[in-house]
Structure 1
Amino acid sequence: MSRVNGKVLTRLGRQYFINSLCKQSIMATLSLLLNTKIYSDGTRPLMLSLIVQKGANGTSWKRRTLCRLKPHQWDKARRLVIDHPEKRLLNAQVFDAFQQAEARLQELSRYEQPIDAQYVLFGGQTPVESAITLLAHGRGYVERLALLSQTRTAEKYNGHLNRLAQFLGQTHTGTQKDIALSQVTEKWLLEFSVWLGANGCKSPNTLQRRMAFMTTLLNDARKRGLMHHEPMAFLRFKEQRVVKLKLTNNQVEQLKDLDVRGKLRDARNTFLLQVYAYGARIGDAVNWKKTDLRYREGGAYLVYRTQKTGDILEVKLNRAALDILAEYNATPGPYLLPWLSRYVPTPGLSEPEAKAEWLSKTESATAQINVQLKELARLAGIEGKLTSHVARHTFATLADAKITDKRKISAALSHKRFATTEIYLSELRSEEVNDAMCAVWE
């Protein structure tokens, strides 16, 4: 006896007892039989038979012809084709047909679907595909992310789902429309991408991110056996390369030398600490705790777990970083920097609710910092949009110029894959390429 997702499936020879969605006990018998019908050449049809007994509701059956054999060419006891010139090929075909039918029968049980004899014997579009819709699957996917405490990703994906819901529209009664997974085709996805472009999605990169979400959603459905076709297989939505702002050493010093006070000074200090702390992400920086600062032989270290990857980083702080942190020794609360000093978690919240509240406070602090950085860029004469993420670009560029072992840079940036670091650095090296090409004309 085996148990599949809580539903009992007992195999007795080739019989199956299934607890269906409607809680009825159903017995399905899958068998091979040589029919009594005789053709003019003396052969009979070898059939794959499915008999479904539904208790008081009676019995139904369906058969599929696999091949034609003479009676002496079929060994009923062993279920094998014998004394036939193509017996190996025929046995392989019979075996495959039986195994596939068996797998489809178990699939219907796993997803609590009624037994569809046509599907079990012949395949084709699954009842599971017909029953599950894209938007509903997407919402379930996002709910699972939230339960796994991947709140930031869940919120981002919710935004993509909202756009999908707008595209699907509503019925005349105001009910949200949806589409079966089986109806999601390449043409439908192209129509969705065109609609996005005509409805506010002007950036190729935004379009790429929305369609990448669709790929993620459909891949998840395929892995779960909810669909079997690949509508995204031949579609490519390329990201447009953009020039990423990064500061030179001189520009970092210009920021450092600015005589500013209040939130401008806090934002400037946060940006510099991000650079000094190996290009730390802003979400990590505003959440650094006083307990993350460790002193031991050899210097001072920031030891913290990154929000995005969950890695534990140990960052050795230079003298400039320690001088900045000294300004915040008297900051109330557990945080190193002042941005969340007044934040007190609301008691009684569930874990997902608490995570969402914390994320909202972190994003609010990030927005405040970016507003101040815009003014700091103006004061320092720095062209381009200065944001907290530029600190990460800046560290990567400065490290790339001095460190030959790029894997060390990858570890400092907390990249899971070295390939990510290579792409990251290549996008920041345009000036290096331009300087090298200038030598052609000298």
Structure 2
Amino acid sequence: MTATDLMSPEMLANPYTGYGRLREQAPVLQGTFLGRTPVWVVTRYADVRAVLGDPETFANDPASVPGNSAVDVRQQGMEAMGVPADLAHYLIDSIISADGADHTRLRKLVSRAFTVRRVANLRPRVEEITANLLDALAAAEQPVDLVETFAYPLPITVICELVGIPEADRAGWHEWGRVLVSMDPTRIPTALREMVEHVLDVIARRRAQPADDLLSELVRVQEAEGDRLSDDELVTMVLSLVIAGHETTAHLVSRAVIALLAHPDQLELLRADPGLWPGAVTELMRRIGPVQSASTRYATRDVEIGGVPVPAGSAIQPVLVSANSDPREYADPDRLDITRRSERGEGHVGFGYGPHYCLGAALARQEGEVALRALFERFPDMRLAVEPGELEWAKSPGMRRVLALPLVVEP
């Protein structure tokens, strides 16, 4: 069987249909990334959870594979994006890629910023930022682009305040993040270098003048305990948190608006009972979650996945959007049902699963709930300014995102 090109125009244009087709062909299939790197594509719910939940068998770092027999898909991705060797480690050597004790150490350092209590205490600020953005939308010339005026500004403001990025610098982060997810090798090197230089500057400022934010706390720990966090790790941590902390939420919000406008029956349920919003966000994350795949894993030994033998050293791509639409796990999985409940709690794997479960999941859920509820309550007659088929989608792997969302939001 010919290996599936995960970067083919067909897969990029409609990953849900493309990965769904693969899921029904076999539990595990061979594919290629960037047209050359062989990967084993895992698409079924039970198998995806098994891979994500077993870090000893499926490592995040290819260096964890005995004998260093794995091809580093991450490094090949850096080369394809034009990232210079002196900058690549800032994207590769992150908490997302760390294994074992190293991952535990890094996660422990930042997890205090994302506790249930800390996130709950942030809610009034999230509501305040949301209200201010909605005021601006109401006063803006119509139609508005919800991506630029609401979906991005809300999470970038929240995560930057939490981490400690000064207000004057946040617009730059929005642009840098957009360049990074574009995979444009002509722009990424400059953007990444500017990001690294900026973070080093902010670290220096926090050393001189600490504040009540996560970066100041990480600097304090570094100075008090020395070997807990290197300067490179500090920069990498900030890059990871800020980029991951706004990209996913921004596209969840924008895509959720599209989905709810296309399903007025579900929207009516929410209007009749606002208490359904938390469950609605969970179902929206399952059905239209923007993150297509988890980070690549590497088999540390010969193993079977779904009954398919996979050799040690193989690169493995767990596909989240396919797992979340697996009819073996969900009845009528392609139907958006905000009253759907799972016996597994959250159920879906949109935020990952296992030891690398998304640190900011609770914050993303809260931002999604606050943003969407306030938006639809403030503008009950909100509508698309174009036909759904006219919306332009980014043709890049990893994140399913709409480039612009023109809406009429007149009160």
Judge same fold: TM > 0.5, yes or no. Answer: no
Q: State TM-score, norm by structure 1.
A: 0.22
Structure with bigger gyration radius: 1
Name the one with the larger strand percent.
Answer: 1
Name the one with the larger helix percent.
Answer: 2
Structure number with the bigger relative contact order (C-alpha 8 A, sep ≥ 6) is 2
